[in-house]
Structure 1
Amino acid sequence: MKTILAAYSGVKKGSGSSILSALRDLPWPSRSKMEKHLQVISVLQWVLSFFALGAACTVLLVYMFCTDCWVIAAMYTTWLIFDWNTPKQGGRRSSWVRNWTVWTYFRDYFPIRLIKTHNLLPNRNYIFGYHPHGILCFGAFCNFGTEATGFSEKFPGIKPSLATLAGNFRLPVLRDYLMSGGICPVNRNSIDYLLSSNGTGNAVIIVVGGAAESLDCAPGMNSVTLQNRKGFVKLALQKGADLVPVYSFGENEVYKQLILEEGSWWRYGQKKLQKFLGFAPCLFHGCGLFSTESWGLMPFSKPITTVVGEPITVPKIESPSQEVVDMYHSMYITSLRNLFDKYKTRFGLKETDTLEIR
């Protein structure tokens, strides 16, 4: 208070040097603290957007129809209907949004890193299989939905499109936010367009385990849902897109989850809800906004390292037999295991740790 009064006194006396001196004496937060605050804010806005932006904007749109702003709501709804199929046709990617400074703070909160192991040719298309799902796929979003980890610099000529739940693109505003990052619906029409009608140099990132895998994501777990997931392999064969295994070390560490016992009524209900809702009703928690000791929705600051493996060359076969699909699926599993085993000790795991394929 004395410092502020001194500054005010300097103003009264017309002394600029007194003002500067007083301002320098104010208890400004350090640069490191400011950066940490910005990191927290950047992650918080994404978590809140993921959980609430679509629902909040839907409620707001309905409410506006009951007010004097109904004309604005009607105009937006008309445009929404007109624009409905855009997510299925490559979306509306924005380099400006993908390069927002906020994503660098998002990256540094954990921190998140992207490791390149092999070159990718721009004259080919690719399907990246991302593992594991984790709770909110922080690694997948940061690496492929933004330029914070330098994807375009590491893989010149390759345009990533992260595939997520199609239901997200039915929600106002959220759909545009996702599309601006190059995120697309994980459905056949959208992926067909990217791999067939959008030239070459496209990489569709599919979180293969999906919502079902997120039910088994917890610190210390090294398991992926892949054994019976063969649709992405068949699609790669039909489009002649090379398969690329991707593993994110640390994705399971950022939230703690209560894993319900397999075979219990609680687990049964959880799986039924997952199939009905399209996403998994996980019982998880992170840390609080102001303290790592309290519970909250903020993820723990644990490093996430995403390793992009060697591409598996896939021929184009419009109607592949089940034997051919099984063969390439087996090749993919072997490649993913090799990737995990090669890098596990570099990123915090023990030599004895193994990757469980479910």
Structure 2
Amino acid sequence: MRVDFAPLRIPFRRRLQTGAVLQWVFSFLALAQCCTALFIVLLFTRCWFVSVLYATWWYWDRNTPYQGGRRSHFLRSVKVWNYFRDYFPIRLIKTADLDPKKNYIFGFHPHGVLVAGAFANFCTEVTGFSYLYPGLKPHMLMLPLWFRIPFFRDYIMSAGLVPSDKESAKYLLRRAEGGNAVVIAIGGAPEALDARPGASTLLLLNRKGFVKLALQYGSPLVPVFSFGENELFDQVSNPKGSVLRRIQERLQAIMGISLPLFHARGILQYSFGLVPYRKPIHTVVGKPIEVEKKENPTQAEINELHQKYIEELSKLFEEHKTKYKVPEDKHLSFI
């Protein structure tokens, strides 16, 4: 295979951008494992008390992730995220005002491999969420597994991440004074297995839990489509029914996380590696779908709102796709 090396003379700013993205990929793929190893290793050194003190703190603080987490404006705003944003680049596009006295559910699509657009827009301040939507705090949902890992849990909470657990979401949505935006990557881990350039199929038809939550708390639904999310990585062919896909689905059922075999470019060359391609991401936040509160919604009411959500998401995609170089004949499909 021919290796396409990067030029030796590259602006230092671009190298900083690549470094910022590299640490983000590392955080997704290996930081949790490193934190676990550190916690265990410290127990067998003269610094054993660090792990013991942390374990004590951890027990006392165990419910925090399920009660809104512990975000840090400082860590959400550090300059490294500016370089991360500019690498692709990533932009957040507003289409309607949102009332900060209400709580919202944002449905984020597509999941992509590593949800880069969702992270930049809702877990950092560098694309202007707080400026575009004053008074709203985004809380992105993440698998509860990651909040059971020492040190790592505190790092991800600082970004505004909370567990993708019903009680966690309910805590935010029941806030009477409003001001919360619960961000859910609806397709979740299974959708990541189909994330590749050109993909436009969303795992949504049987995902109705977020709709039921919206009805129970009267929280408006906001469709969000991130153009370019699937363009960042290639993925080893894994059609449904293939041996690889069956293994991935089995592991996903056991572990709760999917393991897409993705690849893109490297640090000093463009031919292979785990660094995403420099492809622009435009995350478009749609208009809110007003929801009438029903503490015990019927299945018919859930289905009706779910269908309306699909229609509004499709409309959002169709209205904006040509602006972001999506072919006119490309349409969303749902499974």
Same fold (TM over 0.5): yes
Letter paired with 1:64: L
Q: Is the 8 A contact 1:237 1:316 kept in 2?
A: yes
Q: SS at 1:311's partner residue?
A: coil
| Range moving further from structure 2, 204-213 or 193-202 | 193-202
- Determine if the alignment matches structure 1 residue 303 to structure 2 residue 243: no
Q: How do 1:312-331 residues align onto structure 2 when only pairs under 5 Å count?
A: 312-331=289-308
The corresponding residue for 2:3 is none
CA shift for structure 1 position 261: 2.2
Q: Which runs of 4+ in 1 moved over 6 A?
A: none
Letter in 1 for 2:314: R
Matching of residues 193-342 of structure 1 within 5 Å: 193-197=171-175, 199-293=177-271, 295-342=272-319
Structure 2: distance between partners of 1:188 and 1:87: 12
Structure 2 residue 131 is matched with structure 1 residue 153: yes
Residues 56-108 of structure 1: CA deviation (Å, up to 9, x unaligned)? 11111111111111112111111111111111011111111111111110000
Map Cα deviations across residues 180-213 of structure 1 (whole Å, 9 max, x no partner). Answer: 1111111011111111147301100000000010
Contact 1:49 1:174 in 2 (8 A): no
Corresponding residue of 2:165: 187
- Structure 2: which 5+ runs fail to align? 1-7
Residue by residue over 1:208-242, the C-alpha shift from the partner in whole angstroms, topping out at 9 and shown as x without a partner, is 00001011110011111001100100011001110
Q: Normalising to structure 2: TM-score of the pair?
A: 0.96
Greater share of residues in helix: 1
* Paired residues, number: 328
String of CA shifts for 1:157-195, please: whole Å, max 9, x gaps: 111111111111111121111111111111011111111
Paired residue type of 2:330: D
Q: Which position in structure 2 is the counterpart of 1:66?
A: 44
Q: Distance in 2 between matches of 1:182 and 1:199?
A: 19
Amino acid at match of 2:23: Q
Say which SS state the counterpart of residue 224 (structure 2) adopts: strand
Give the residue type in structure 1 aligned to 2:321: K
Conservation of the 8 A alpha-carbon contact between 2:103 and 2:175: no
Per the alignment, in what secondary structure is the counterpart of residue 296 of structure 1? Answer: coil
Cross-structure match for 2:25: 47
Once superposed, what is the RMSD of the aligned Cα atoms?
1.2
Q: Distance in 2 between matches of 1:178 and 1:148?
A: 17
Aligned partners of 1:246 and 1:309 also within 8 Å: yes
Q: Structure 1: where are the runs of 5+ without partners? A: 1-28
Distance 1:333 1:197 in 2: 27
| Structure (1 or 2) with the larger CA radius of gyration | 1
Show the counterpart of 1:20.
none
CA distance in 2, matches of 1:334, 1:315: 18
Cα drift, residue 279 of structure 1: 1.0
- Deviates further, 245-254 or 274-283: 274-283
- TM-score, length basis structure 1: 0.90
Partner of 2:326: 349
- For the residues of structure 2 that align with 1:133 and 1:345, how far apart are their CA atoms? 21
% of aligned pairs identical? 50
Higher relative contact order (CA 8 A, sep 6+): 2
Shift of 1:265: 3.0
* Alignment partners' CA distance in 2, 1:275 and 1:197: 33
Moved more, 124-133 or 77-86: 77-86
Structure 1 distance, partners of 2:143, 2:273, is 24
Kindly indicate whether the alpha-carbon contact (under 8 Å) linking 1:312 and 1:332 is maintained by their aligned counterparts in 2. Answer: yes
